[in-house]
Chains A and B, each alone.
Chain A
């Protein structure tokens, strides 16, 4: 009962903050539109309710373009996750491969990998393929790093227990190591999910024929007349990013439900 109340409390406080921020937004918009009269207030700070109305009016086109962008990002994301998992497994299996590749994988954390997105588009010149490839390789690095960390950070006591059962090494992976590394895998996926969406949109800005990025560019091009459309596109973009993050979060809760942080409230009471 106590845990439920606590969780509800957190939820209510988050909700209140969101309502508060929307209210602040509306108030600022009112000041800019009706009190200060700044230039091109519609493009700079439109009313929130106008945007909601606009989104509902244009829901078919927004949904269509959004699902194209999201679809390509998701395809790349799945391929990148699988490839990253595979490489992490190979690296944990073979010390030589690990020694060879780990400095490069680690330094991928320091460099702006998304900078390669336009170059990949330049090489492939195929919008669909380059969206998938870009989203894929951007997913690949964080997933590999986190999965490898999970595979390496297994407690020695647990390993010894498995060894004492004379577990064959392939079963060690399928029954134990992969499962133990799942929480780390998910934290890698959580980092990667919004980046995959960004990658997909960046390729669209470079010149794909469809997708949310193209809609963004065209509505930006028409300026004041399309200001509401432009902001709606941005909101949809934000929505896709957050939705992909929450989707991974839910998946994590379902698949790795044993993690202590999902039971914290129970332990405390």
Chain B
């Protein structure tokens, strides 16, 4: 009986020691390999110094600016806190436009790319025509969409849809088409049907391309929603931004930018996480 208990105590101690050691190594890992890495500490220090210089008005002195032209970071945060209810409501409104248009545009683009790759002889020209949508300035779209869908949320969703569609069509089509001929030969040798080739080969192969398009579309959709709201709107971050600039309330205008940027970073990371979940074979 005794030896075993001693043994168990000993083993307990070793386990504790091991876990302690592990803790220390994780500690070291966090500090040495992560926090004190050049690629982390340099940008953090740069960001802090930049904000500090901004706060003590170094940029104002260099570029000869007044406070009403360029507010300091603290006043921006203050105005964010003061107007948090409006900002939250408007972010939700703009967020709905962004998300709705993003999903609709990406889905539509994907369907068009699929149709084009099923009928490549006529589809290729269609893809070229749709790719030219990419080159259309968004400001040109927004008044048209206002004419068609009124000045409600629908017109902005339409703008976001169109500006996210082109990238998806081009990328997904590339993904569907750029398949190694050997894979296709293998599928043909198994006498696979066209639908099977599509589901098992083309679709899976196109996933990285589709996610590349989704990542491009994150900022494209936010830009489209904001620019759409600059034009004719009575709600949303873009409206608030242009409205506050007209009346010269710069801190609130800056808070709109800050929130839109945070939304973009959050959205982008969400897409990246989804990508890692959907394509586990990509980075391994």
Of A12, A99, A118, which is within 8 A of B253 by CB?
A118
Of A15, A111, A205, A241, which is within 8 A of B219 by CB?
A111
Q: Which residues of A contact B260 (CB under 8 A)?
A: 111-112, 115
Partner-binding segment picked from B37-45, B83-91, B187-195, B274-282: B37-45
Q: A43-B147, A96-B38 are in contact. Are A245 and B125 (CB under 8 A)?
A: no
Partner-binding segment picked from A52-60, A102-110, A173-181, A251-259: A102-110
B137 near A110 with CB under 8 A, answer no
CB of B82 to closest CB in A, whole Å:
19
Q: Which residues of A contact B122 (CB under 8 A)?
A: 13
Bound Cα distance from A7 to B250, whole angstroms: 53
A116 near B257 with CB under 8 A, answer yes
Cβ of A86 under 8 Å from chain B: no
CB of A176 to closest CB in B, whole Å:
26
Per-position binary interface string of chain B over residues 110-130, scored 1 when its CB falls under 8 Å from any chain A CB and 0 otherwise: 000000000001101110110
Q: A18-B129, A99-B43 are in contact. Are A118 and B218 (CB under 8 A)?
A: no
Bound Cα distance from A104 to B248, whole angstroms: 28
Cβ of A23 under 8 Å from chain B: no
Q: Which residues of A contact B218 (CB under 8 A)?
A: 110
Q: A122-B253, A205-B230 are in contact. Are A194 and B135 (CB under 8 A)?
A: yes
Per-position binary interface string of chain A over residues 78-119, scored 1 when its CB falls under 8 Å from any chain B CB and 0 otherwise: 000000000000000001100111111001011111111011
Interface of A is mostly: helix
**Minimal Cβ-Cβ distance residue in A for B265:** A110
Q: Which residues of B contact A119 (CB under 8 A)?
A: 241, 245, 250, 253-254, 257
B42 near A96 with CB under 8 A, answer yes
Cβ of A123 under 8 Å from chain B: yes
CB of B143 to closest CB in A, whole Å:
6
A244 near B43 with CB under 8 A, answer no
CB of A217 to closest CB in B, whole Å:
9
Of A15, A110, A198, which is within 8 A of B264 by CB?
A110
Bound Cα distance from A21 to B125, whole angstroms: 12
CB neighbors of A among B210-265 (8 A): 215, 218-219, 222-223, 226-227, 230-231, 238, 241-242, 245, 248, 250, 253-254, 256-257, 260-261, 264-265
Q: A17-B129, A244-B135 are in contact. Are A103 and B264 (CB under 8 A)?
A: no
Per-position binary interface string of chain A over residues 107-137, scored 1 when its CB falls under 8 Å from any chain B CB and 0 otherwise: 1011111111011011100000000000000
Cβ of A14 under 8 Å from chain B: yes
Interface of B is mostly: helix
**Chain B interfacial residues counted at CB < 8 A:** 54
A205 near B129 with CB under 8 A, answer no
Per-position binary interface string of chain A over residues 11-49, scored 1 when its CB falls under 8 Å from any chain B CB and 0 otherwise: 011111110010000000000000000000001100000
Cβ of B81 under 8 Å from chain A: no
A14 near B125 with CB under 8 A, answer yes
Q: Which residues of B contact A246 (CB under 8 A)?
A: 135
B143 near A220 with CB under 8 A, answer yes
Bound Cα distance from A115 to B264, whole angstroms: 12
Bound Cα distance from A99 to B38, whole angstroms: 7
A107 near B129 with CB under 8 A, answer no
Q: Which residues of B contact A43 (CB under 8 A)?
A: 147
Q: Which residues of B contact A12 (CB under 8 A)?
A: 125
A234 near B226 with CB under 8 A, answer no
Cβ of B203 under 8 Å from chain A: no
Known: A201-B137, A237-B137. 14 other contacts (CB 8 A): A21-B129, A110-B219, A119-B245, A119-B250, A123-B69, A194-B137, A205-B230, A206-B245, A220-B143, A238-B140, A241-B136, A241-B137, A244-B135, A245-B132
